[in-house]
Amino acid sequence: MKILNTQVLRGRNIYAHKPCIRMELDLEGYGDIPSKDISGFNDMIVEILPVLKQHRCGIDEDQGFLKRLQEGTYLAHIFEHMIIAIQNVIGIDVAYGKARTIDEKDRYYIVFQFKYEKTALKCAELALDMINCAIRGSKFIDFDQRIKSIKSLLKAECIGPSTEAICIEAKKREIDVIELGDTGFIQLGTGKYGKLIENTICESTSAVAVDISCDKLATKYMLSRQNIPVAEGYKVNNTMELMDYAYTIGYPVVIKPQFGSKGKGIIINIKNDKELLEAYNKIIKEYKNILIEKYVEGNDYRLCVIDGEVKAAALRIPPFIVGDGNRTIKELIDVLNSDDRRGEDHERPLTKVTIDIGLLEKLKRSNYDLDTVIPRGEKIYLRDNANLSTGAIAKDCTNEVCEENRELCRRIYKIIGLNICGIDICCRDISKPLQGQGVILEVNAAPGIRMHHYPYEGEAQNVAAAIVDMMFKEGERSSMPIISITGTNGKTTTTRMIGHVMKTAGYKVGMTTTGGVYIDGKCVRNGDTTGYESSLSILLNREVDAAVLEIARGGLIRKGLAYNLADVGIITNVTGDHLGLDGVRDMKDLINVKSLIIEAVKKDGYAVLNGDDKATAELVKRVNCKTIIFSKDYDNEFIRKCSGEGNIAIYLKDDDIMIKRDSTSIKILNIKEVPITIGGKLTFNIENTMAAIAALIGVGVSINDIVKGVTSFYLDECDNCGRFNMFNLGDINVILDYGHNREGYNSVIAAIKKFKSKRLVGVIGVPGDRRDEDIIEIGDICSRGFDCLYVKEDEDKRGRKSGEVAELLVKGVKKEGKFDTRNNLRICLNEQKAMLEAINAARPGDTIVVFFEKYEPLLETIKAMKESMDSRVSMTV
């Protein structure tokens, strides 16, 4: 078995509303061979991965997957389950997966849920190697080593527990959470409302305050000058100063790095000169700037202060063991680490105790080593510090903190200016005022909040909620309005109109279209930008306050959605375009793809659907929010039903676009006032206008602003380039349009027949990735709609040979026998040359329609011809 290709779907996608990876497989002759017929296969994979016994599988019963194995199931299905199982083994909670056949023999695809991309792909590699090994009948011997390697990768790839807690809290509130690649930074929210975090530092955290808190000497200085109790201490430059300060302070003392974190480098309770010199000589090898402080006895407390208020407090206790009179210290540490709550790093509430030099020296000072058997009941501390990352435990004591100590924390917040901080306090009792019984040890930036969310004892405190509350104050937006548009035809015009109206209404709009990415009306990237990455660029843009995103079928299939939920999702229509591509075999598949747009809408948002489109009967079943139905027929079935529960109808009556809420209908405007309908002649643009109006109402744009924007949106190269753009070349009319499928051609032909023309001339072409029968049908449609035809081809052949698409089009054109190459049919494969031939051969009163691939070269050619004509007229005058 081998993997042919891999797609990473980071957001909601057509398979699941969670991140998934899709892999296409070649089973290399095992497509029809069940696992039970492969000698020893089932036994081997279950022995190595016993967690598979817990999989319920599609039959949804205990040991369901095991039953399927025994009955005989196929390799792709097994592969999917193994990848999920391996992720579970390393502590990743995922469960979704599916396996399906592809048309060709031995070809399957699988989809499986993931949390960390690189780790998941390594899990897939391991599962593949295990399967191939089992097929060969070989024993798989390096599973444990591979798992260890994957765990190392996971450790490097995963976000920390504090960051994860904040992200989980944000998602509960439907705030978009966007990871900025592998940078460690995460954006909460979208557009100008988005805010960055890194661990528990947010973008409003003062950089100066962080620097002060990271400098223990600076912190001590600022606090002491404001009469905050701190341990007496000084910076040490040499051994002479070290000894002088020790005598001044008096033993016992502590030495530690001036700049340090996680308790690293701290040596406490130094009782005499000998111990002090030994400790100093050790620490100076690793750190340049050393502090000496008075050692204060007491309990180790961490208070988490958010925006000046104590939100959580924990008593931190260094890791310890209790002797039983039988087992050695090493054996007791193993027992301690076997606690399910302990993990290798931060992936679980507690961290395992590592046997290192620090631990061994701690034992040595007590005249113990790892082989010592501790008497029953005797408690041995394994560390001097109580940092969770070295195995300490935390007991919640939030409710014990007295008001005086809370007020002290408020003062510290104001002195240092750190809006998210961890204040370390050493005292006998946190329920009593600190003065006289303890000191402030440190003020920490980016404090870990794992101890508060998962205390060893006591009540959990949701510090992440307090952080999100601080970042997004009550009543403050976290995300800009998002309008998402898809469909077969009309989506670009609809997108552009919505963007134009919102800009007119005062929004700074970020927009993606088939023509490029636009920020506040300016193109910042050319090309077809209707996929995941383009949408993401808008969501991350800190200038924009509204997103209008055209999202094409290909983008939905290949990467899914960049956002979580939109405010409005529009499907303009769904017709049989692109069938046969990317696994989309029929209309049912295509509807499934497009429906993702309306499924990913907020509960109080709107799904906008075309009541005149046949697919709407199926699409409306997938809506989990409110709906806005639009139709050219006020007696449309969906319009009649679309009432109550916040649903809205938009319909056409006597050339007026009307809006109906419950039983009340009001006129918005007459279609003849809408420039892109050309007096109501362009029926498809009436539909696009209604779809745009629906979306604008859905996000709360006023009717006055809608009318103002819609009536100032024109059918030209500035507002709506490449969509029925009309140019006059003397007594010849030229229309450039992006029609590229059956419905597009039919709509344009129906529209131009409403205009007065002596002859209709078509310059026609179709993208090469359409089915043969679709290309032939478009040729047939053109033979009935035009008087003269020029057949051309796109530069991008999309897998076809040169001349192949033209040949199919000609086949369709000649079906009725009205066209031949000696009279009214020309073949010119180059698009620009074909247009020029059509213009040069045109007769007065002709209308030429060019169904283009590349707009700009044709536009420049037409402008040059028009300028030349205008120049000749000027000279004649």
For 836-871, what is each residue's pLDDT tens digit? 999 999 999 999 999 999 999 999 999 999 888 866
Strands 732-737 and 847-851, sheet pairing: parallel
Tokens standing for residue 663: 């039983």
Residue 265 has what pLDDT? 81
Rounded to the nearest 5 degrees, what angle is found at the Cα of 695, between the Cα atoms of 692 and 701? 100
For 789-819, what is each residue's pLDDT tens digit? 999 999 999 989 999 999 999 999 998 888 9
Phi first, then psi: give them for residue 320, nearest 5 degrees: -145, 165
- H/E stretch holding 743: helix 742-752
Q: Mean pLDDT, to the nearest integer, of 444-467?
A: 95
Position 120 confidence tier, pLDDT thresholds 50, 70, 90: very high
pTM beyond 0.95: the answer is no
For 238-264, what is each residue's pLDDT tens digit? 999 999 999 999 999 999 999 877 777
Position 874 confidence tier, pLDDT thresholds 50, 70, 90: very low
Residue 580 has what pLDDT? 65
For 260-310, what is each residue's pLDDT tens digit? 777 778 888 899 999 999 989 989 988 899 999 999 999 999 999 999 999
Instruction: Tell me what the pLDDT averaged over the chain comes to.
Output: 92
Residue 340 has what pLDDT? 85
Residue 59 has what pLDDT? 65
Residue 229 has what pLDDT? 96
Q: Mean pLDDT, to the nearest integer, of 101-117?
A: 91
Pick the CATH number of 725-876 from 3.90.190.20, 3.40.1370.10, 3.30.365.10, 3.20.20.80: 3.90.190.20
Nearest to 484 by CA among 599, 640, 339, 334: 599
Q: Which residues contact 823 (CB under 8 A, 6 or more apart)?
A: none
Residue 875 has pLDDT above 50, yes or no: no
For 537-586, what is each residue's pLDDT tens digit? 999 999 999 999 999 988 899 999 999 999 999 999 998 776 766 677 78
- H/E stretch holding 604: strand 601-610
Residue 361 has what pLDDT? 82
For 691-729, what is each residue's pLDDT tens digit? 999 999 999 999 999 999 999 999 999 999 999 999 999
Residue 439 has what pLDDT? 96
The per-residue b/e assignment along 36-72, b for 16 or more CB within 10 angstroms, e otherwise, is eebeebbebbeebbeebeebebeeeeebbbbebbeee
CATH class of 482-710: alpha beta
Alpha-carbon torsion 677, 683, 685, 690, what sign? positive
Tokens standing for residue 87: 């992720």
Annotated domain spans of the chain: 2-157, 159-226+301-318+383-477, 232-294, 482-710, 725-876
Q: Mean pLDDT, to the nearest integer, of 631-656?
A: 86
Residue 634 has what pLDDT? 86
Q: What percent of the chain has pLDDT over 90?
A: 77
CB 842 within 8 A of CB 761: yes
In CATH, the number for domain 159-226+301-318+383-477 is 3.30.470.20
For 41-64, what is each residue's pLDDT tens digit? 999 999 999 998 888 887 677 788
Give dist(CA 11, CA 294) in Å, integer: 53
Fold of 232-294: Dna Ligase; domain 1 (3.30.1490)
For 727-778, what is each residue's pLDDT tens digit? 999 999 999 999 888 889 999 999 999 998 999 999 999 999 888 999 999 9
The residue that leads in pLDDT, 6 or 91, is 6
Task: Order across the sheet with 97-101: list the strands.
Answer: 2-9, 20-26, 107-113, 97-101
Tokens standing for residue 818: 């009205």
Residue 877 has pLDDT above 70, yes or no: no
The distance between the two most distant Cα atoms of the chain, rounded to a whole number of Å, is 115
Residue 662 has what pLDDT? 82
